[in-house]
Every structure is written in C-alpha cells, then in structure tokens.
Amino acid sequence: MKIEHIGIAVKDLGISNDLFEKLLGAAPYKEEQVESEGVKTSFFAVGDSKIELVGSEKKDSAIEKYLEKNREGIHHIAFGVENIEFEIERLKNQGFTFINETPKLGADNKRVVFLHPKTTNGVLVELCEDVK
C-alpha cells in the first residue's frame, strides 16, 4: 500500500483550486466530474502522492452532506492497492466494515471502496486500484 491521495472537501472548487495552485506552485493536472457521486474533483501532484479537492455538484451528494455538518478540510485518506478484492477480504477478516464492499468507478481512473470510519478511528479510508 501507499498513500495515493488525501481528499479535501471544499465548498467552492474554483476558489480552492486557486488557493492550492498558489500554495503548491502548480495548477491541478486534472479536473473531473464523477456523476455517480455528484461531485467534481481536481487533482494536484505532490511528489509521489496527490491532493484531491472534492466539491459537491448535487444537493444530496455525500460531500454536500459532509459540508453541512463539518467545515471544509480533510475528508479522507486514500491508499493505493494492487488488488482491491484481496484487500477487501483481508480487511473484512480483520473486522473492518465497509461503506461499499463492491468496488465502483471513482475519479482519476480508479476502482474504489470506502471503509466505515467507525472501524478506522473516525477516519474515512478509501482503497483505490488503477483501472486495468
């Protein structure tokens, strides 16, 4: 496993893109809409990892609900894995629970699953695998 990216929930993707561009000295290398989740994302390269800014595109999206309860900030940490199905079974056998056990297509050409924060010390953990 490696840290693939850190996801940051933002209210205004344009304003946040400008802020992170100034902070990191580079523009996002990719912006993408994920229709199934009702979000728009942008990615910044930071060494071997990435920062993903996630903004809501729908009133009922998970990010919109998150931002109604919380302020902008770190939303999740994503770990890159080679075999997502193996990791799902391994972690289930260790007692972890998942928000979704079936990988779905996420941003940046990844298959993703999320572990429930109640079993990860309150941290939303994403596992992601490159689409092959």
pLDDT digits (tens, 9 = 90+) for 37-72: 999 999 999 999 999 999 999 999 999 999 999 999
Q: Which CATH number characterizes residue 19's domain?
A: 3.10.180.10
DSSP letter assigned to residue 94: T
Evaluate whether 99 touches 62 at the Cβ level (below 8 Å).
no
State the pLDDT at residue 1. 84
Domain of 63, in residue numbers = 2-130
Torsion, CA 118, CA 91, CA 87, CA 3, rounded to 10 = 50
pLDDT tens for 79-103 read 999 999 999 999 999 999 999 999 9
In the chain, how many domains are there?
Answer: 1
> Tokens 């979704």 appear where?
100
State the pLDDT at residue 111. 97
State the pLDDT at residue 123. 95
Distance, in Å, from the CA atom of 104 to the CA atom of 43, rounded to the nearest integer, reads 19
